[in-house]
Chains A and B, each alone.
Chain A
Amino acid sequence: MAEEKGKKMSEEEAKEGEKPKAPAAKEASEKRVAAPKEPPPEEPQVDVDSLPLVKRVKSAKGGLIEDVKYFRGEITFLVKKDGIVDLCHFLKDDTETQFNFLTEVIGTHYPEREKPFEVVYHLYSTTKKHRVRLKVQLAEDEEVESVFPVWRSATWYEREVYDMVGVRFTNHPDLRRILLPDDWEGHPLRKDYPLQGPPGYREAWLKAHCASTNKL
């Protein structure tokens, strides 16, 4: 066995001297330590403005759109904060778009940005079978209007965003916490929220609930 290994080693060294293709096994071992050598498959270059959905939205509601992105076949519109309900009404009622279903509303925290909060809306059309993503960026104390008048399911989704990230929605009929208790402090999906909960919380809980069994 040792001899064989030695032979292989010497062969590899010889090959390296000639600079042939690296053997597959070696490539794999390189991948183990570093990022893949080959970059992931290139996104085919698509002219965003030529997509029919982007064309339609830009021609009708171009004033509300700040930016359009295209990644992995998904279209993302960056929408002005005050225009979100207007745009949603348009997207739902327009015969070319027909986004009749609100898939979800998501809150994301980017603390290093000037506008640290992002509210993301995923829409789907059950008739046209296409999807779109809308985004609104918010500064620390800004609020965004609720899309509840367009889709009633937004009530719960927006409550979750408020609960987890702390973004408030104006004109929301019932903006309360949904997953966490009503008296909870802080919003856990903010990046500055500690992973294991607020400091001292776990110890206090154990003391209150497991006083007799737990030696803390």
Chain B
Amino acid sequence: MMEKGLMDKGSVEGQVVDYLMRETLKTREMWINMGPQHPSTHGVLRLILALEGERIVDTEVVIGYLHRGMEKLAEAKTYPQFLPYTDRLDYISSHAMNFGYVLAVEKLMGIEVPDRAQYIRVMMAELTRISSHLLWLATHALDIGAMTVFLYCFREREMILDLCEMAGGARLTTSYFRIGGVAHDLPDGFIEQAREFCRIFPKKAKDYDDLILKNRIWLSRTVNVAKISGEEALNLGLTGPNIRGSGVYWDIRKDEPYSNYDKLDWEIAVYDGCDVYARYLVRLKEMRESCKIVSQCLDVLEKLDGPVMAKVPKVIKPPEGEVYASVEAPKGELGFYIVSDGSPKPYRLKIKAPSFANLISIPTMVKGHMVADVIAAIGSIDVVLGEVDR
């Protein structure tokens, strides 16, 4: 109606027009909602992004859509009864979740686990690590646009799930570990089938490399994206493969070796790229190292005979006290803090879930990046919402 500058600034009308122009045409942030039903958030993660054009200025992470109150439930269950609930934390690597829980209870009780059971546990935990990383690689690559990797990874993951089924009877929520050992010994034919997996897996891992390791599109989507320095990562609570992608030498299996990890020969995977690509390299190397651990365990298990269960009282009544035990789960440090009051139920059980801690750094990682990079960032830290919300 009115051309700018025509109106006298001193008049009342002039001030009103000036005000309207300033308010209606000013640059402001746009808030957009991502999730909780977004396919690339791997569950029910919700992000609220503040955008300036395509650039992200601020991010808020909203979680809790899968909250089941596990810690409250634990207070109403006996120690063995709570074991199957731990499967449902990170449901794609349930052996590792069981491992953390049984270690904490055994530490509280002072139970010594037989050697054969230790090797079986380590082997199953490492198989789970491979399967978890395969699922991660599959979905992460799919998010970024590499479809074929998805199919390849699921092919090998199926072999591991078959092994899990042989050992524990279930494919995902296995509950194969027990307080004091494992549920039962490995069935006939398990070792041969696991050997077959160890034989072919390194070749298959090379296939994944051939597809994306030097792929130009993959590199442009991952290199220098969602960077986080080692110091910042420590400050923000990152653990596991994510912090090793920022050049921090920290793997609980090496630093505070639990079970039989100190008797096995393997290397920590550390890269100092600090970006999505470094975290991808870490996980790829970890899969190969885990495969090495599995074949070493198989060598031992072929010769080693003995019980797979320690002598554990039927009613588990730990002494009064509190312990914290942690394991290197596929996603990072998984810890269980148990307070016992001497009764058969835990007085308080706190789960330190790696994915929960890993999500804290998402706003820092994606600041200043494009919207599409958020998907790469979420994929690279490998969240599982069952574990975040507990």
Contact = CB atoms under 8 A, between A and B. Distances in A.
Interface of A: 28, 31-36, 40-41, 71-72, 74, 76, 100-104, 106, 108, 120, 122, 126, 129, 131, 133, 151-153, 155-157, 164, 177-181, 188-189, 193, 195
A189 B73 CA distance: 10
B110 A40 contact: yes
B110 A122 contact: no
Nearest to B71: A189
A122 B322 CA distance: 12
Interface string B94-114: 000000000000011110000
B64 interface: yes
13 contacts: A72-B321, A74-B323, A74-B324, A101-B234, A101-B237, A103-B333, A104-B337, A122-B335, A126-B250, A156-B357, A188-B72, A193-B72, A195-B76
B186 interface: no
A180 B64 CA distance: 6
B389 interface: yes
Contacts of B169: none
Q: Which 6 pairs across A and B sit closest by C-beta, in order of nearness?
A: A153-B237, A179-B64, A36-B313, A32-B314, A41-B110, A104-B352
Contact of A31 (B71, B313, B326): B313
B189 interface: no
A137 to B, nearest CB: 14
B304 to A, nearest CB: 24
A122 B352 contact: yes
Contacts of B38: none
B136 interface: no
Question: For chain B, which range describes its interface: under 10, 10 to 19, 20 to 34, or 35 or more residues?
Answer: 35 or more
A183 to B, nearest CB: 13
Interface in B234-251: 234-237, 248-250
B323 to A, nearest CB: 5
A108 B110 contact: no
A193 B75 CA distance: 12
Contact of B235 (A71, A74, A152, A195): A152
Contacts of B323: 71-72, 74
B360 interface: yes
Contact of B69 (A35, A76, A102, A188): A188
B158 interface: no
Nearest to A101: B234
B6 to A, nearest CB: 47
Given A72-B321, A108-B339, A156 B109 contact: no
Nearest to B342: A35
A33 B390 CA distance: 33
B72 A195 contact: yes
A180 B235 contact: no
Nearest to B317: A35
A153 B352 contact: no
B324 A122 contact: yes
Given A33-B315, A74-B323, A104-B357, 5 more contacts: A106-B348, A106-B350, A151-B237, A152-B237, A195-B75
A129 B253 CA distance: 12
Interface string B316-341: 01110111101000000101010100
Contacts of B235: 151-153
B177 interface: no
A40 B109 contact: yes
B314 A156 contact: no
A120 B347 CA distance: 15
A179 B339 contact: no
A189 B346 CA distance: 13
B176 interface: no
Contacts of A106: 337, 348, 350
A138 B315 CA distance: 34
Contacts of B234: 100-101, 126
A164 to B, nearest CB: 7
B155 interface: no
Of A106, A129, A131, A193, chain B has the most CB atoms within 10 Å of the CB of A106
B237 A32 contact: no
Of B67, B237, B321, B359, chain A has the most CB atoms within 10 Å of the CB of B237
Nearest to A197: B69
Given A108-B339, A131-B324, A152 B64 contact: no
B3 interface: no
Contacts of A181: 64
